[in-house]
Structure 1
């Protein structure tokens, strides 16, 4: 009888553990793509921006760029790219990478997606990019942002892109 109770307890434990792990993996991948991101991709973690050789982390709403001898993360682009238009620049959707350091593939990305690279035509998630006004944040923060209809860099307007 004692063995039967242990077996039943073990089955319940393993069943509850598998359920908890499934919930965690679903929640980890949630993130809203920015309004300037390409439409049609909702299950990706990163974009590569060839014109400025930087990455955008969708889940953490951060740009990743090389400067000062290391890879940096920031909610804003560095000062030298303050006039870069995120809506018009090409974004490479990194479907095949889900780690925490997309720049580990930078040598490959830099060659394959060179500055000025244009792949398939892209439409931004933000339905009308003309309603957004580019604003440089001059309060000591480096980078650029877009204001309009309550959106800023890194904040998607709906996140309803389809994969």
Structure 2
């Protein structure tokens, strides 16, 4: 009986003394950002579009807008925004979960056009890190360059292997 109690005490103390570590994962998602998105962000969860009071969820490529008293999630904007120019629109990057649930906060902070600046879009960027985006005009050239670089590395490695023999 003493052994059982001792075993329980040891197991319990072992469990209580273990340190728990929180792991924060931060992934770069440049390649999945829309080409109408602004440059300068390695990671984006949401864009707030204050001109139309809508959000864009980057990981799933979905628009979130308020309609008939509730938030609607779709892959495209409603017809009433068919002429909305995503390239020239103001976009606010928000890296917090479900910002539309705090819409009043974001609307009061960014709703007016007082902070509007011209934002360079990914499509118009000449920064090569954006070329991985499949919709970027330079993507195919970048892809070919990547292939050529890989071939050259393989050829160098094969040459080294021959020299070692």
Q: Same fold (TM over 0.5)?
A: yes
What does residue 111 of structure 1 align with? 108
What does residue 80 of structure 1 align with? 80
CA distance in 2 between counterparts of 1:61 and 1:70 reads 19
Q: 1:75 to 1:117 in 2, by over 3 A?
A: farther
Q: How does 1:1-163 map to 2 (within 5 A)?
A: 26=25, 29=27, 31=29, 32-95=32-95, 98-100=96-98, 102-127=99-124, 151=135
Moved more, 106-115 or 52-61: 106-115
Aligned length: 123
Q: Report the 3-state secondary structure (helix = DSSP H, G, I; strand = E; otherwise coil) of the residue aligned with 2:43.
A: coil
Deviation at 1:121, TM superposition (A): 3.5
Alignment deviations for residues 51-110 of structure 1 (CA, whole Å, 9 cap, x no partner): 000011111111110012110111101111011000000001124xx213x112211211
CA distance in 2 between counterparts of 1:118 and 1:77 reads 24
Q: 1:60 to 1:123 in 2, by over 3 A?
A: same
CA distance in 1 between counterparts of 2:112 and 2:82 reads 17
CA distance in 2 between counterparts of 1:115 and 1:60 reads 27
Tell me which protein shows more strand as a share of its residues.
1
Q: 1:48 to 1:110 in 2, by over 3 A?
A: same
CA distance in 1 between counterparts of 2:39 and 2:58 reads 13
Q: What's the TM-score once normalised by structure 1's chain length?
A: 0.58
CA distance in 2 between counterparts of 1:41 and 1:64 reads 21
| RMSD over equivalenced CA pairs, Å | 3.6
Deviation at 1:127, TM superposition (A): 1.7
Runs of 4+ with >4 A deviation: none
Higher RCO, 1 vs 2 (CA within 8 Å, ≥6 residues apart):
1
